[in-house]
Amino acid sequence: MENIVSNKTTDASIAAKLGLQADEFEKIKSILGRTPNFTELSVFSVMWSEHCSYKNSITYLKTLPRSGSALLVEAGEENAGLVDIGDGMACAFKIESHNHPSAIEPYQGAATGVGGIHRDIFTMGARPIAALNSLRFGDLKEAHTQHLVKGVVKGIGDYGNCLGVPTIGGETYFNECYNQNILVNAMSIGTVKVGHTVSAAADGPGNPVFIVGSATGKDGIHGATFASADLTEDSADDLPAVQVGDPFQEKLLLEASLEAIQTGAIVGMQDMGAAGISCSTSEMSAKSGTGMRIDLNKVPTRQADMEPFEILLSESQERMLIVCKKGMEADLEAVFDKWDLECEIIGEVTDTKKLEFYFNGELVVDIPSHDLVLGGGAPIYDREFKQAAYYDELQSFSIDNIEQPKDLVQTARDLMASPNLSSKRWIYRQYDSMVRTNSMHTNEPSDGFLVRLKGTEKAIVASVDCNASYVYADPYIGTMIAVAEAARNIACTGAKPLAVTNCLNFGNPYNPEVYWQFVNAIKGMGEACRKFETPVTGGNVSFYNQTQINQTVEPVHPTPTIGMIGLMENLDHQTGLSFKEAGDSIILLGTNRNDINQSEYLKHIHNEAKSPVPYFDLAEEARLQNLILSLISAHKVISAHDVSEGGLFFCLVEACMNNELGFEVNAESELRKDALLFGEAQSRIVISCKKENVASILQTANSMDIEAKELGLVTNETMKFDEMDFGHVSDFINIFEHTLPSYLD
């Protein structure tokens, strides 16, 4: 390869600086039959990073259930999952992380995370109709945490609002383990006609290759590598690895891309996200068994004198790579010219199965595309793992060592002020949830988040869930709970869970205890997804979520965020969480237990973080969800709200808030009062119904082997629980609504 430019001599030390291991450098030399030049090594470094290759996770990801009757593409086949929702329509959806960029530059990091996940959806030909997010921050008392919260929320809001996609829901937690390394997971949902999707393929040697959208700049260079390394005290020096977004440009790109698909000129299309041109060219070529010849001088750039590796690795936003049918170039150019977007031919598809990049007339990269990608030549590892040292210590916890508070009413008020339980209105009021007028839960809050499918009697119901404290306590059971709660939220809303996308946020995979968390989390996820018949359509793995401070490395709590969608076949099944009318009966489906493990009560009131995972039984959970769906379809339920963080009492209070009602409950239980009120044992749902339906509901529950008990009545007045008077709900609403603003305004 005499004509390859050796623009910089490389060796193992340079490879190490780019994030490659010594044996990986040797493997690259073996693949090429020579020593790579610096530009080639840079391409390998981003494509073989964890962020792109999943080299430390794919062995276990393949064990997840990946097929189902509603799936139109299997996991990993396309940019996002695709499920059949009937009437000739499909739903595309995916969740991904943008953690490290958001930790360094919260506004742009979060904004570009939103932009990137939406591009994954409309690249397939689907129009994004809804967004969700899952956020983790550190101690809210810390000024740095407050700065990060404000930046992330504004970034999400500004980008989504300008793009015109409603943010319909999400979750936010606070824990000191995220003090430096926050988590920002963004989810997008879109719809498309079946058969009208576009693949990320590069078929047809001789077909021209276009780059469309924004010009390429120096922002985001080595972003994939940045996402695949530990955050340190010096990570702010990596600020150029954070991309810069332009939502108005993305709106133009969205409309132009969907219009261009209609011309029939597009053979394949892929978003330029992580690793930029390097990734899109290699993945599209490898998928089709083809190659590409690209002239980097033809790539529109924002800055003069960009080096080849900078052009190849740039993660500048709002860009697509398109393979066009030869002879239809003018059709494609006309659409993007109409929308005033860059649209340049930069090369063509070849039959060489190699990526050949030229610069100033010289060949600067010559790499087989297959050897760069997951499923091809990218390395695969199964790391050492061992049970975390803390695990046995958690099992020694005993509820008997926790003294019950003398004033449970005041305890309830104190608990309501926990940032994890308090209202997130300060956050979501900055998001436009009503644009496109399809959001259905704004005035009628529900456990799942609904978006109507216009022209039908159907709705998509979505949920994002993960209590990382549960997963920390037991990765296997904790992750099963995350899947179960996502499904439970959807079921309580009146929809059947369909499929899952995941965002797996963990520490350094070279840490055996972190890898133990990961392996067991995957096992738990797989078992739960098989039980609920919700196959995993894809998602994202984010390792290296930890921070080095004063030579001490602390991984975040394992946080396998579950993004789940369900289908509501009839809009009249929509079920909110709020009590509607005084005199209605309140029923608990499921069993109260003497369990305060990992509860917000235990952590916030007693400052005790070391306890096992709360009670959970997968078979029992599945029966409970079948029960609630049966009752809703029979129109016997007025409201349904699952018991989760904060326990039974918090569930009841939330059900009162929207209509400012009360309750009178007599639990008739021998359990400890704090466990009864605030324990977080799983598989429980509080419903309200008309008095005449109580007997039928109890009988149905018994027939499905679920304990059910009539607790009491909805009232107009105060909230009473076992003769304890908790006062008017307005007092709790005041605490609930003002906690976050007291820190952030």
Instruction: Pull the structure tokens for residue 375.
Output: 């499923």
Which pLDDT belongs to residue 243? 72
Q: Is 559 helix (H, G, I), strand (E, B) or coil?
A: strand
pLDDT at 349 over 90: yes
| In contact, 23 and 199? CB cutoff 8 Å | no
Beta-bridge partners for 90: 84, 192
As a whole number of angstroms, the distance between CA 635 and CA 371 comes to 56
Tell me how far CA of residue 482 lies from CA of 173, 492, 603, in angstroms.
14, 15, 19
pLDDT at 332 over 60: yes
Which pLDDT belongs to residue 258? 96
Query: 209: closest CA among 277, 116, 124?
Result: 277
| In contact, 711 and 637? CB cutoff 8 Å | no
| In contact, 318 and 250? CB cutoff 8 Å | yes
Tell me if residue 51 is catalytic.
yes
Which pLDDT belongs to residue 220? 63
Beta-bridge partners for 71: 83
pLDDT at 299 over 70: yes
Q: What is the 3-state secondary structure (H, E, C) of 539-608?
A: EEEECCCEEEECCEEEECCCEEEEEEEEEECCHHHCCECCCCCCCCEEEEECCCCCCCCCCHHHHHHHCC
Average pLDDT over the chain, rounded to an integer: 93
As a whole number of angstroms, the distance between CA 591 and CA 667 comes to 11
pLDDT at 436 over 80: no
As a whole number of angstroms, the distance between CA 565 and CA 190 comes to 11
Instruction: Pull the structure tokens for residue 541.
Output: 């793995």
**Within 34-79, where are the H helices?**
38-47, 50-53, 58-61
Instruction: Pull the structure tokens for residue 426.
Output: 């300060």
What does DSSP assign to residue 302? S
| DSSP letter string, 403-445 | PPPS-HHHHHHHHHT-TTTS--HHHHTTS---GGG-B--SSS-
> Can you give the pTM of this predicted structure?
0.95
pLDDT at 231 over 80: no
| In contact, 721 and 686? CB cutoff 8 Å | no
Tell me if residue 98 is catalytic.
yes
pLDDT tens-digit profile of 713-745?
A: 999 989 999 989 999 999 999 999 999 999 998
Please state the rounded mean pLDDT for residues 323-347. Answer: 97
Instruction: Pull the structure tokens for residue 510.
Output: 């070279």
Residue 404 makes CB contacts below 8 A (sequence gap 6+) with: 672, 673, 674
As a whole number of angstroms, the distance between CA 678 and CA 414 comes to 12
pLDDT tens-digit profile of 183-229?
A: 999 999 999 999 999 999 999 999 999 999 999 998 767 555 555 56
Query: 727: closest CA among 715, 737, 738, 711?
Result: 715
Which pLDDT belongs to residue 237? 52
Residues belonging to the chain: 745
As a whole number of angstroms, the distance between CA 486 and CA 498 comes to 11
**Amino acid found at 484:** A
Q: Is the dihedral of CA 421, 426, 431, 434 positive or negative?
A: positive
pLDDT at 160 over 90: yes
Which pLDDT belongs to residue 239? 44
pLDDT tens-digit profile of 576-626?
A: 999 999 999 999 999 999 999 999 999 999 999 999 999 999 999 999 999
pLDDT tens-digit profile of 44-76?
A: 999 999 888 999 999 999 999 998 889 998 887
Please state the rounded mean pLDDT for residues 275-291. Answer: 95
Please state the rounded mean pLDDT for residues 359-370. Answer: 96
As a whole number of angstroms, the distance between CA 411 and CA 434 comes to 37
Which pLDDT belongs to residue 360? 96
pLDDT at 8 over 80: no
**CB contact burial 179-192 (16+ within 10 A = b; e otherwise):** bbbbbbbbbbbbbb
**In which band, very low, low, confident or very high, does the pLDDT at 434 lie, cut at 50, 70 and 90?**
confident
Tokens 């003294």 -> residue: 403
Cα 248–chain centre separation: 24
Query: 249: closest CA among 339, 315, 313, 332?
Result: 339
Q: Annotated catalytic residue: which of 98, 100, 370, 573?
A: 98
Query: 79: closest CA among 32, 128, 120?
Result: 120
Which pLDDT belongs to residue 176? 94
Which pLDDT belongs to residue 238? 52
Tell me how far CA of residue 410 lies from CA of 312, 668, 717, 732, 737, in angstroms.
60, 22, 19, 11, 17
Tell me how far CA of residue 661 lies from CA of 154, 723, 733, in angstroms.
34, 17, 11
Backbone angles phi, psi at 687, to 5 degrees: -120, 160
Angle between helices 618-633 and 694-703 (to 10 degrees): 140
Within 10 angstroms of residue 450's Cβ, the number of other Cβ atoms is 27
Backbone angles phi, psi at 334, to 5 degrees: -65, -40
Q: Is 63 helix (H, G, I), strand (E, B) or coil?
A: coil
Tell me how far CA of residue 134 lies from CA of 219, 434, 467, 717, in angstroms.
25, 19, 11, 35
Please state the rounded mean pLDDT for residues 147-151. Answer: 98
Higher pLDDT, 286 or 274: 286
Higher pLDDT, 3 or 242: 242
pLDDT tens-digit profile of 545-590?
A: 997 666 777 899 999 999 999 999 999 999 999 999 999 999 999 9
Instruction: Pull the structure tokens for residue 734.
Output: 């005041």
Instruction: Pull the structure tokens for residue 641.
Output: 């709200």
Radius of gyration, CA atoms only, the chain = 26
As a whole number of angstroms, the distance between CA 375 and CA 320 comes to 23
**Within 436-545, where are the H helices?**
468-473, 475-493, 512-532
Instruction: Pull the structure tokens for residue 254.
Output: 């969205």
pLDDT tens-digit profile of 660-694?
A: 999 999 998 899 999 999 999 999 999 999 999 99
**For the chain, percent of residues with pLDDT exceeding 90:** 86
Q: Is 229 helix (H, G, I), strand (E, B) or coil?
A: coil
E strands in 242-306: 266-271, 291-295
As a whole number of angstroms, the distance between CA 719 and CA 700 comes to 28
Query: 640: closest CA among 690, 687, 698, 684?
Result: 687
As a whole number of angstroms, the distance between CA 5 and CA 368 comes to 17
End-to-end distance of the chain based on CA atoms, in angstroms? 62
Please state the rounded mean pLDDT for residues 484-495. Answer: 98
